[in-house]
Amino acid sequence: MYPLNRHRRLRSKESLRNLVRESTIHPHDFIVPLFLVEGKNVKEEISSMPDYYRYSLDNICKEVKDLWKLGVQAVLLFAKVPENLKDNSGTEALNTDGLMQRGIKEIKNVVPEMTIMTDVALDPYSIYGHDGIVENKVIINDKTNEILSKMALSHAIAGADVIAPSDMMDGRILSIRNTLEKNGFHNTAIMSYSAKYASSFYGPFRDALDSKPGFGDKKTYQMDFCNRFDAVSEAKLDISEGADIIMVKPGISYLDIVRELKNSIDAPIAIYQVSGEYSMLKAASKQGWLDHDQVMMEQLVSMKRAGSSMIASYFAKDAIKLIS
């Protein structure tokens, strides 16, 4: 009761504010998404993601070494698949000598301690830009699971530490987990995109990988952004099927989902601050409308405060440079 309780007391000087701070950002909190392309000495900027690049494998190795020096301990790999290798059955996704599989091996070679996470979904490999096998404009669930499981296994064989299925097929965690167990990959973790919403914030990412859906949208498999309980039940199912980490995606508009999960599941939560969130801030700060660094930190801390243990973010390097 006022004036016995004055909340301004603990805000009165910086050292005191530092002392009572609840949520902070550390380099170890980050998962850095990386885009791989074929070629030599390639570092090309993604037009809708200023200051963010696709790298050929030689350059990705340098980048990963730099990230490790900065204190980053996890990377999440995505491959940009050449047009002529795309089909409707994920053939290239299973190629043991594909870009992704070579990328995993090379990164493992140069920085063995780095946690390597890999995206598992068919969209970059699909002529239709969809996350699964397409028949008569329908995304076929169980057939897709079989391919995703083989894809996950090929990543594990190449040396991936964490498989990250982003496809939203039903039952894919169980199918991937069984496949990994059968093949002796008991310690390969699964980070499931359990609460992945059908979001328009993914636009720039689809430019980065040239993976826009060729017809329709992803609403028959990704979640309706009007729903909350769906996220809890997806997450619980994924844990029961063998997921180790539960992801919420996108980030900033879905902090209520992070908190809901934090209160109802016993698994570490990851959040993905997606491409559109990155590009919005880059654009606004370029115009001088928002302070890039301040808004970036405010958003990142809010994701920790909401309850996530780790953050996949294109801002990781900017943020780490700022805090260290």
Cα gap 271→234, rounded to integer Å = 15
Q: Is residue 119 a contact residue for ligand PBG (CB under 6 A)?
A: yes
Cα gap 246→258, rounded to integer Å = 10
Please, are residues 163 and 75 in contact by the beta-carbon 8 Å criterion?
no
Please, are residues 297 and 277 in contact by the beta-carbon 8 Å criterion?
no
Q: Which residue is nearest to ligand PBG (CB)?
A: 205
Which CB, 183 or 227, lies closer to ligand PBG?
227
| DSSP H helices in the chain | 14-19, 57-70, 99-110, 141-158, 172-182, 203-209, 229-240, 255-264, 275-286, 292-306, 316-323
Q: Which range binds ligand PBG by CB under 6 A, 98-106, 118-126, 136-144, 259-267?
A: 118-126
Q: Is residue 131 a contact residue for ligand PBG (CB under 6 A)?
A: yes
Please, are residues 222 and 198 in contact by the beta-carbon 8 Å criterion?
yes
Of residues 29, 92, 106, 123, which one binds ligand PBG by CB under 6 A? 123
Catalytic residue among 86, 249, 304, 317: 249
Cβ at position 112, least distance to ligand PBG in Å: 26
What letter would DSSP give residue 134?
A: E
Which CB, 65 or 206, lies closer to ligand PBG?
206
Cβ at position 206, least distance to ligand PBG in Å: 6
Please, are residues 123 and 104 in contact by the beta-carbon 8 Å criterion?
no
Whether 196 is catalytic is yes
Cβ at position 316, least distance to ligand PBG in Å: 13
Which residues form the interface with ligand PBG (CB under 6 A)? Answer: 119, 121, 123, 131, 166-167, 202, 205-206, 218, 274-275
Active site positions, annotated: 196, 249
